[in-house]
Structure 1
């Protein structure tokens, strides 16, 4: 069986690339395709230093830095991959990878991180943040996204079976494509985030500083709690704005390497997370360290954090690992922090660690391999029938 794996783009080692790494661990013989490949020579171990077949976008002007600007060409580009020699095609898709062309004697499985966010339910947020709500450029962007949606729905018909990374994304796939999917949670490298039970008296948050992460709300909440210390790790377009808001009890570290991040996650009293994520790896890395999470109760967080019971006398179904707030506001974050502190020893480092272990890479590899083998057996049986 010849296998091809098609990934949207290879430029950094982030969440989707961690999944790709484990796919290749399951099927090391697979050949790899991507619209662009700008991974440095020293950062290719996670793809096993494989050669990558790329599209014409790789050779377009300024593609290394501006590849996203070629979104209107991406549907055409991904359709140019000739995959006719492969029996099994696995698309690793949060944008256009699932749009590859396959035939009736080829099985196409899609690991879907999300239907294209900025073309579907997050379109208005994307246009607002990009300053494209009005004007000629705005109407051009809306027209392009309209046609991307039409293409995205059509190409969903070429996928034989979908994998969703969470129940939240499964609902988005159902809404956009009208298709069911199998949930396989992404892998979290819990071994890289060892348990530490002795905690220090500070809170931590870490993410790229972009609007939807809502770091400004977290900073404003801690400004209103001057007796509590917050450490903010990350960089991005909103860094200057957030730095201007930070009070004396808020420390901004900017970009930090993995060792600094791990050290703070291990020592912090709790990790604070205000984004609505499709899955959310950072809260699980914190829990792997034995650190509870105070999170916005929407999206993937609902599936990765076991909340303290809302009713104090209620018995939790499992040992709690965090506290939710259900409104993206300063007041809601403050109330959640106070509720967390009032819980005392109800949330233990050991419980946090045990919960994170449910998402270890070994679990992903077992579930992913079983899914592929099951779908392949059914596909072969259908062909023979």
Structure 2
């Protein structure tokens, strides 16, 4: 039986994050598959240098490449215009509108769903009050309420056209059912553990936050908590939230900006604990911290409770407030941690495990799809 012709689809490639790590591993699994995306900034993704990236018309408008999220009303259109007739299988990596890609009856569409579109469903009200578009915020606040009803309807309908869903966590599996009324299979996203597992853990007297510093990451909660306690916190990563929080931070909080992979590894290997205050669909960086042997102090909602085992691999706090984080830190300070127990949990999310599970799922879905086609 001939191998299926596969295409990968991703919402945009403009800023590295967890979803882009999933896409990279899919590219490693299916290196011959072209990657379709709305916008692409190659300087941000050297790991995709050998990939065939096919962009939409949005990529030909330079300024729009960097603020394309301002236009969700239009983001479905580029995907709908992509001709997928030459492919037997499409795998969309979707936290936005990538699943809108249209396929015909001879093409299997598997959607790896990082989350139902947050700005349509779970985060609409919050995002409306915490827009990241600066000068364009007033325009966005006028436009979004006019379109949210129709956008939700379009998004729901697009989800009905997907043949089969994969969820990145049990948390997202529940949301897919709630918002799209679709069943899904959980396959956890990959983390790169080999190098992290080999790091020599030598704990220093600081905590660390690493990642894109945008409003939804709730850096404000950490800043308030560490201002109160006076414990040392190192913040690595860039984003508009740095400008808001840095002036509020006391001398015990250090802002490092963007760091290299080597610097990140060193920070994780030496940190007393990794601070994770957002509600994330899953959260890859906390697992990278665990692979380095570093326990995690996390908000106990979203995907974090699926790997942060309270008292074993870290500490969970119930409310997304400075007071709750302060309580968790005080409890954390009085505990001891077994590096190997923490690392063993992280191994469950190794990229090799992802390749095995995702590969088996894709093969099974394709066999079932082929069987149905033959019986038509």
What's the TM-score bracket when you normalise by the shorter of the two chains? over 0.9
Residue in 1 that maps onto 2:322: 330
Match of 2:144 in 1: 141
Match of 1:367 among 344, 357, 360: 357
- Deviation of 1:73 (Å): 1.8
Q: 2: CA distance between counterparts of 1:233 and 1:199?
A: 18
SS state of the match for residue 209, structure 2?
strand
Q: Is the 1:326–1:332 Cα contact (8 Å) retained in structure 2?
A: yes
User: More deviation in 76-85 or 188-197?
Assistant: 188-197
Q: Which residue of 2 aligns with 1:2?
A: 5
Alignment of 1:304-319 (within 5 A): 304-308=307-311
Q: Answer yes or no: is 1:208 the counterpart of 2:212.
A: yes
Deviations 1:250-292 (A, max 9, x none): 2222222222221111101111111100111111111111111
Q: Which runs of 4+ in 1 moved over 4 A?
A: 134-137
User: Do the aligned partners of residues 36 and 135 (structure 1) sit closer, same or farther apart at CA in structure 2, a change above 3 Å counting?
Assistant: closer
In the aligned structure 2, how far is the partner of 1:264 from the partner of 1:116? 32
- Does residue 283 (structure 1) correspond to residue 286 (structure 2)? The answer is yes
- Residue of structure 1 equivalent to 2:129: 128
Cα distance, 1:61–1:205 mapped onto 2, change above 3 Å: closer
Q: After TM superposition, list the pairs within 5 Å mapping 1:155-234 onto structure 2.
A: 155-193=158-196, 194-226=198-230, 228-234=231-237
Change (3 A) 1:146 1:154: same
Q: Distance in 1 between matches of 2:301 and 2:251?
A: 30
Residue pair 1:216, 1:245 contacting (<8 A) in 2 also:
no
CA distance in 2, matches of 1:205, 1:80: 40
1:272 partner SS: strand
Partner deviation per Cα, 1:97-121 (whole Å, 9 max, x = no partner): 1111111121110011111111111
Distance 1:155 1:336, change over 3 A: same
Task: Give structure 1 stretches of 5+ with no counterpart.
Answer: 309-319
The root-mean-square deviation of aligned C-alpha atoms, in Å, is: 1.9
Counterparts of residues 1-385 of structure 1 (less than 5 Å): 1-40=4-43, 43-44=45-46, 46-47=47-48, 49-60=50-61, 62-130=63-131, 138-193=141-196, 194-226=198-230, 228-308=231-311, 320-343=312-335, 345=336, 347-385=337-375
Q: State the 1:192 CA deviation.
A: 3.3
Q: Select between 351-360 and 4-13 the one with higher mean Cα deviation.
A: 4-13
The alpha-carbon distance between structure 1 residues 136 and 294, as it changes in their structure 2 partners (threshold 3 A), is: closer
Distance 2:241 2:104 in 1: 45
Q: Count the aligned residue pairs.
A: 368
Aligned partner of residue 196 in structure 1, secondary structure: coil
Q: Report the more deviating stretch, 232-241 or 116-125.
A: 232-241
1-side partners of 2:192 and 2:139: how far apart?
45
TM-score by length of 2: 0.93
Cα distance in 2, alignment partners of residues 137 and 23 from structure 1:
34
Give structure 2 stretches of 5+ with no counterpart: none
* CA-CA distance at 1:48 after TM superposition: 5.5
Q: How many angstroms apart in 2 are the aligned matches of 1:292 and 1:66?
A: 35
Q: Secondary structure at the match of 1:217?
A: helix
